[in-house]
Amino acid sequence: MTKVAILIASHIGYEGQIDLLDNCISSLLEQIFKPKSVYISISFENDIYKKSFISILQKYGRTTNPKINFKISKEKKHQMEHLHNICSNICVNDYDMLMFCDDDDTYHIERIQCFVVAFNHGKGICNTGKFGGVREHVDLDLTTSDDDLWGEIPEFWCYGIVPSAIVEFFSFFKGVNYMLLQHKFGDMYFRHYLRKNSKYYEWVAIVDKDFGFTLYNYNISNPNSICGKIQRGMGNKYDNLLTKVLDCRSEDHFNNIVKKNKKLYDIDDKLKDSLKMIYNFCKILYK
C-alpha cells in the first residue's frame, strides 16, 4: 500500500486559528484513503495560545490511524522553517509520497485517494528517474495584475511529491543560506524549485474540476492569509520586488528589475546586494 505523510506548518498568531487547525486535522482523519502519518510543526505567538492548544493535544494525541505527530517549537518559526523542522526529525524515506496542507485549509474526503491513484500511475509510466509526483492544477484567481506572479506558480500544497525532492531542496539551505527560509515568502523558493528544477521534472497533472468537486478547500476568505492579503492588494513594494527576483529568468531580467526599482535602493543601500545574492542563489537552486 502507498504510504503517505501529510506535512503541516503552523504558527498560531491570531484568535480562532486553533479552531481552523482543528478543522484541518479533522478533514485528514476523514479521508477515504488514510495517510500513514500527519506531522505538524507548530509555534505560538504567546503563552495564551500555547495553553489553548492543550485541547488539540488532548483530542488528537492518541490518534493512531493516522498517527498525529506534533513538533512544538519554543520560538516563532516561519512556514518553511517548520517544514525543515519536520523533515530534519523524521525519516521521510519511510513514505512513498509527501503531501501538504495549510493549517487553515481542509481536504476533500477523496483528496488523498485521487493523489495516490495519480501518483502510482505516474510512477509506473515514468522511467527516466526524474519523476517528481503529482501536481494539481487549481484556479484560485489570486492574480491582482499582469505583473503579479502569485496566480502563475502553484502553491506547494498542490503537490504530492517523492520524499527525495524535499530532502534535495533543503540540502541547499545549510549554513548561512538557512536565513532565506526565515521569511514569510520562504515558500516561494520551494514553489519555484518544484516548478523549475531539472532533477524532478516529470509530473502527473490532475485538474480538480475534472472530478466535479474541489479537492482542496482553500480558505482565501481568511483575513490573516498572506495570499489573501496579496489578492486584496495589500502587499508592499518590497514584497512585490522579492517575488520578482525569485522568478528571475536571466541576468538581463534581474538588471531590468533593478533599474525599475531604483527608488527603493535609494532608501536602502544594502537592498541591491541582498537581492543579487538571492538571485545568484536561485540560479543554483533551480538548476
Per-domain residue ranges for the chain? 4-285
What is d(CA 18, CA 88) in angstroms, rounded to the nearest whole number? 25
CA distance 67 to 115: 20
Which pLDDT does position 263 carry in this prediction? 75
Distance between CA atoms of 196 and 185, rounded to whole angstroms? 17
Q: For 238-268, how does the pLDDT look when each residue is reduced to its tens digit (9 = 90+)?
A: 777 888 888 887 888 888 888 888 777 666 7
pLDDT at residue 208, rounded to an integer: 79
Q: How many helices (DSSP H) and strands (DSSP E) are in the chain?
A: 12, 9
Contact partners, residue 249, CB within 8 Å, separation at least 6: none
- pLDDT number for residue 139: 59
Please give the grid coordinates belonging to residue 253.
531580467
Q: Which amino acid is at 128?
A: T
Rg (CA), the chain: 19
How far apart, in whole angstroms, are the C-alpha atoms of residue 266 and residue 286? 30
So what's the pLDDT on residue 148?
41
pLDDT at residue 149, rounded to an integer: 40
* Regions in the chain scoring below 70 on pLDDT: 139-152, 221-236, 265-267, 269
Topology of the domain comprising 4-285? Spore Coat Polysaccharide Biosynthesis Protein SpsA; Chain A (3.90.550)
- Do 137 and 245 form a contact (C-beta atoms < 8 A)? no
Task: List, in order, residues 6 or more apart from 32 with CB less than 8 Å away.
Answer: 109, 110, 112, 113
Q: Are 114 and 208 in contact (CB under 8 A)?
A: no
Q: Is 61 exposed, middle or buried (0-12, 13-18, 19+ CB in 10 A)?
A: exposed
Phi/psi for 68 (5° steps) reads -95, 120
- Torsion angles phi and psi, residue 235, rounded to 5: -75, 140
As beta bridge partners, residue 39 has 7, 69
Parallel, antiparallel, or unpaired for β 216-217 and 106-107?
Answer: antiparallel
| Cβ-contact 28, 6 below 8 angstroms | yes
Classify residue 94 by burial, with Cβ atoms within 10 Å: 0-12, 13-18, 19+.
exposed
Q: Give me the sign of the Cα torsion angle 131, 137, 141, 143.
A: positive
Per-residue cell: 47: 503563552
